[in-house]
Amino acid sequence: MKVCVLGAGSWGTALAILMAGQGTQVALWHRREELVQQLKEDRENTKYLPGVELPSGILPTSQLDEAVRDSEVIILAVPSHSIRNICVQIKDFVHADQYVVNVAKGLEEGTHLRLSQVINDELPYNNVFVLTGPSHAEEVAKGLPTTVVISGEERESCECLQDLFTSPAFRVYTNPDMIGVELGGALKNIIALGAGISDGLGYGDNSKAALMTRGIAEISRLGKILGAKTETFAGLAGIGDLIVTCTSMHSRNRRAGILLGEGQRLDQVLDSIGMVVEGVRATKVARELSEKHGVEMPITNGLFKILFEDADPKDVVTEIMTRSNKHEMEEINSLYYYGWN
Ligand SMILES: NC(=O)C1=CN([C@@H]2O[C@H](COP(=O)(O)OP(=O)(O)OC[C@H]3O[C@@H](n4cnc5c(N)ncnc54)[C@H](OP(=O)(O)O)[C@@H]3O)[C@@H](O)[C@H]2O)C=CC1
Ligand SMILES: O=C(CO)COP(=O)(O)O
């Protein structure tokens, strides 16, 4: 199969390396000609993924129409806020039989749409898929064992893409729950910012475990209302991605959180990370969704106050910790289930 990857940031480049390593021909599109020239000359993405050689099967290009027209599979690897724009740019030369695979993790600001819905809006005749899960670009590019999930509406085409992406070091599972896998990928970034803040404040492993566990609880609460299967949040696209993002120094969300916890301002933090920190926009959208649907999301709410209302992270932690007492599972299952009246 011929493939194009739109977006030569860290994830687009790593996926191109993965597929080219298996003999697939990959057009790697980037919007800036100077970066394309640098990729061609050095055979390395020194800005976004330094230290990994680009296999010969990768063709860097700034010609969007050529890259798209020649491909059977189009992989969208730009940040979530650019997904609609890239679809608008390609809609005149996309064919209905081309598969579109989104690998970005986020929700659209304003509309609250999941990214597959945004893509469907602009490319209504294409089959849309999502590839997600615990997968830092730096490790995938080095061939370190990784597991992810692919989701889409048709089982057969999902399995076909499962085969395309699978390698001995990259194991792909299918999951038909598009809503769940997309929400898991988008919402874990909020909790990862929180985990970073906790680290930046000098809090310990207990605090991080609390954030991760109560984080997946609030993700599941919102996800259930939005139509996801709660089991999905116990899988790779849920707790799996949450674990990797909250614990890894590769995570831009966690690193941004650390700097915030150390007292830096959001604009300074985003400048110094220099790559997309999806959790910031996701926090805004998730907070609006939680208000719209009346779902309690104390961690997301706290993050919103830190990011957009200049709240002191320590005060936010105190506020979260001193809410009224609760049962652990009350939001998800009836207490009768546990044998209590
Ligand atoms: N990095 C990772 O490990 C993983 C990332 N993801 C997700 O993949 C998505 C992309 O992340 P990642 O590659 O890491 O991001 P990076 O910040 O590394 O790179 C983003 C790339 O997108 C380009 N870009 C930004 N806006 C536009 C636009 N409007 N049109 C065209 N190109 C644009 C940037 O170009 P320029 O250089 O010109 O600014 C840059 O090449 C995110 O949603 C992220 O959550 C998912 C799994 C793993
Ligand atoms: O989604 C990711 C890993 O699965 C990447 O996370 P960051 O954007 O926080 O680096």
Nearest-CA residue for ligand 1 atom 5 is 11
Determine the distance separating the centroid of ligand 1 and the alpha carbon of 167, expressed in angstroms.
Answer: 23
For ligand 1, say whether the CB of 108 is within 6 Å of any of its atoms.
no
Q: Do 143 and 250 sit in the same domain of this protein?
A: no
Q: Do 24 and 101 sit in the same domain of this protein?
A: yes
pLDDT tens, position by position, 194-248: 999 999 999 999 999 999 999 999 999 999 999 999 999 999 999 999 999 999 9
Ligand nearest to the backbone CA of 252? 2
Q: Do 125 and 239 sit in the same domain of this protein?
A: no
Global pTM value: 0.97
Report the domain count for the chain: 2
Q: Do 45 and 118 sit in the same domain of this protein?
A: yes
Q: Do 203 and 126 sit in the same domain of this protein?
A: no
Please identify, among 128, 153, 176, the residue that sits at the C-terminal boundary of a domain: 176
Q: Do 189 and 330 sit in the same domain of this protein?
A: yes
Please identify, among 176, 191, 222, the residue that sits at the C-terminal boundary of a domain: 176
Determine the distance separating the centroid of ligand 2 and the alpha carbon of 112, expressed in angstroms.
Answer: 20
pLDDT tens, position by position, 287-300: 999 999 999 999 99
Q: Do 172 and 201 sit in the same domain of this protein?
A: no
Backbone phi and psi for residue 178, each to the nearest 5 degrees, phi listed first: -60, -45
CATH number, domain containing residue 277: 1.10.1040.10
Residue range 146-159: mean pLDDT, rounded: 97
CATH number, domain containing residue 105: 3.40.50.720
Please identify, among 176, 206, 231, the residue that sits at the C-terminal boundary of a domain: 176
What is residue 1's predicted lDDT score, i.e. its pLDDT?
86
| Residue 134 alpha carbon, nearest atom of ligand 2 | 4
Residue range 294-313: mean pLDDT, rounded: 98
> CB-based contacts of 224: which residues, under 8 Å, 6+ apart?
230, 332
Among residues of the chain, what percentage have pLDDT more than 70? 96
pLDDT class for 173, splitting at 50, 70, 90?
A: very high
pLDDT beyond 60 at 280: yes
Query: What ipTM describes this predicted complex?
Result: 0.99
Three-state SS for 280? helix
Q: Whats the size of the chain, residue-wise? A: 341
Q: Do 90 and 195 sit in the same domain of this protein?
A: no
Q: Do 218 and 166 sit in the same domain of this protein?
A: no
- The answer to whether the CB of 306 falls within 8 A of the CB of 316 is yes
Q: Do 66 and 157 sit in the same domain of this protein?
A: yes
What is residue 329's predicted lDDT score, i.e. its pLDDT?
83
Q: Do 87 and 23 sit in the same domain of this protein?
A: yes
Report whether 32 belongs to an annotated binding site: yes
Where b means 16+ CB within 10 Å and e means fewer, 175-192 reads bebbbbbbbbbbbbbbbb
Concatenated DSSP letters for 65-122?
HHHHHT-SEEEE-S-GGGHHHHHHHHTTT--TTSEEEE----B-TTT--BHHHHHHHH
Report whether 200 belongs to an annotated binding site: no
pLDDT class for 339, splitting at 50, 70, 90?
A: low
What residues line ligand 2, using a CB cutoff of 6 Å?
Answer: 105, 134-136, 189, 192, 241, 244-245, 250-253, 278
List, by residue number, the catalytic residues: 188
What is the residue range of 120's domain? 2-176
Report whether 340 belongs to an annotated binding site: no
What is residue 206's predicted lDDT score, i.e. its pLDDT?
98
Nearest-CA residue for ligand 2 atom 10 is 251
Q: Which of 4, 6, 10, 275 to mutate for ligand 1's pocket (most ligand atoms within 8 Å of CB)?
A: 10
Torsion of CA 204, 234, 302, 117, to 10 degrees: 140
Distances (CA, A) of 68 to 5, 80, 98, 340: 9, 19, 9, 58
